[in-house]
Structures are given as C-alpha cells and as structure tokens.
Copies of this chain bind each other. A is one copy, B any other.
Amino acid sequence: MNENIDQEDDVSVNYNARKYRTPDGAPTDIVIFTITSTDRAKAKKTLPHRELQVLLIKRKRWPFEGRWALPGGFTNETETVHECAKRELCEETGVKNVHIEYFNAYSAPNRDPRGWMISHAFFALVNEVELSSREAASDAAEVGLFSMDEAAAMELAFDHNLILQDALARIREMMVTTTIAKSFLPVEFTISELYQVLQTVVPDFEERNFIRKITSTQSRRGIIEEVRNRAGEPMLSNRHSQRAAQLYRFTDYVPRLSIYS
C-alpha cells in the first residue's frame, strides 16, 4: 500500500515519484451529444423529428481494435484535463466554444488493458449545424452518430457504455434544471422547438401548459425573452408552421432552484 506517500515517506526534499507505482496516463473521454432533426415526409410544414445522438469513433488500434468508443485522448503534462478535453473535442468535431463539462472520473482497476488509466469524462453539447460540416470531411466509416438506443445496444470499448449512461443521466437532469437546452437550439427559437428539444432529451418531460408557464409566469420570467426587431415589433418564424410563431432567446438569467421554496 503506497497510501499517504506525502506523510509516511521519509522526510526528504528529494521526493522521487518514481519510487511508487504511478498511473500510466491521464486519458479524457468526451461524450459528445447532438440532436439531429430530420424533416418528416409531409407536404406541409411540420416540426421535424428530433433524436438525441452521441458521436463515437471506431478504434483502429489495440486495445479494442474495431470497436466503437468515445472520442478522447491523453492529457499532456502541460495542460489541464479540461484543456485536453476541449482540444480533443475540437480535433474530433471542429467545433470550439461549445458547452463542455467535466462530470466524473473512471478509475476501476483494469478498466484499460494498457495499464493503470484514470479517465476523466466530459460531456459536450453540440448543435447539429456545427457538426454537419465536419461530418462530411471525416471518414464516415470511422466516425458515427448513434441514437441512445443504438449506442446502449453496442459493446463499446473500455467502460464506455457505463460512461455514456452516466453522461446521459447527467444531461437529463441538467436539461430541466439549467438552460443548457440552448446548446441544441438556434439563438432565436420558438416555444415549440424548445419544448421539442426538452422532450427529446428527457422523454418523460411533459408540461401541458408549457407555453403559458414559460411566457406568462413571474417565476419563469427572465429565463427567455421575446425577440423584437429595431422597431420593437415581435419577430416571428414560420419555419415549422403555417401560423407564424413568436421567436425567443435565452437571457443570461440563471434561476435558483430549491426544494424548500
């Protein structure tokens, strides 16, 4: 047991980490979520079909050669794991400045055949429009988007099935408690789009009077605001409907939730 190195080691300025078994790397794994919209085959304008998907890459090397895995890579000594994750995300998808967040460490012994690897897991939320250009550029055989059902049915490399499920649970919770839904929406969106995105990530989210609560209650006033043009007229969109719908955008307001009030 090499616990308490810093307390039970002999007192020495010449601390030498090489005396101990040390990790064989500090990998990051990034669960990249996106929501794809596919137009339903109808003559009239309709809301698209949306699906939550995760980006996976096909491994070309041992270990788990040929298996699908979460994108990621090894952290350098000169960067933080957060910087590493952002770098890997950019390399994999070409996007920057998206919502990326650390959520857990995976450190089960033998989770990686290459050695003692404690993985730092992140999730990222990427808008499909930002992802689409990269999709074409990549080798389609090696990068793929999969629905949650598809991914859950696959045998991913390492403990990536577990990481994916944990990430999914996390974003489901955050989807309704924070404003991260904005990552899956254009800056200006309609209430239906917002509602659809929420339902796509959290299937059992249901609010029958959603439009009223979001637009005409004090407590939620401030999360989103109506978009108006310079003349102060409401801006509308009819991209999904005959009747034009009011456009909204998220504000910077961060609501405080509490189980006690």
Binding site for B on A (CB under 8 A): 1-7, 9, 11-13, 15, 17, 20-26, 59-63, 73-82, 84, 87-88, 91, 102, 104-105, 107-109, 114-116, 118, 120, 176-179, 198, 205, 207, 210, 213-214, 220, 223, 255-261
Cβ-defined contact, A25 with B17, below 8 A:
yes
* A3: B residues at CB distance < 8 A: 73-74, 76, 84, 87-88, 91
Cβ-defined contact, B213 with A5, below 8 A:
no
Asked whether A107 and B81 contact (CB < 8 A) given A61-B6, A118-B26, the answer is yes
CA distance A1 to B88 in the complex (A): 13
* A259: B residues at CB distance < 8 A: 176-179, 220, 223, 255, 257
CB distance from A87 to the nearest CB of B (A): 7
CA distance A4 to B74 in the complex (A): 6
CA distance A259 to B253 in the complex (A): 11
18 contacts between A and B (CB under 8 A): A3-B76, A3-B87, A4-B74, A4-B91, A5-B74, A7-B60, A11-B61, A15-B115, A20-B25, A22-B22, A23-B25, A80-B107, A80-B109, A118-B118, A176-B260, A178-B259, A179-B259, A257-B259
* A118: B residues at CB distance < 8 A: 26, 75, 81, 118, 120
Q: Which residue of B lies closest to A18 (CB)?
A: B24
Cβ-defined contact, A26 with B23, below 8 A:
yes
CB distance from A255 to the nearest CB of B (A): 5
Q: A6-B74, A15-B114, A257-B258 are in contact. List 8 more A-B contacts (CB 8 A).
A: A3-B84, A15-B62, A17-B24, A17-B115, A176-B257, A176-B258, A213-B260, A223-B259
CB distance from A204 to the nearest CB of B (A): 10
* A75: B residues at CB distance < 8 A: 107, 118
Asked whether A210 and B11 contact (CB < 8 A) given A102-B105, A118-B26, the answer is no
Cβ-defined contact, B15 with A77, below 8 A:
no
Cβ-defined contact, A13 with B62, below 8 A:
yes
CB distance from A199 to the nearest CB of B (A): 11
Cβ-defined contact, B260 with A6, below 8 A:
no
Cβ-defined contact, A104 with B102, below 8 A:
yes
CB distance from A12 to the nearest CB of B (A): 7
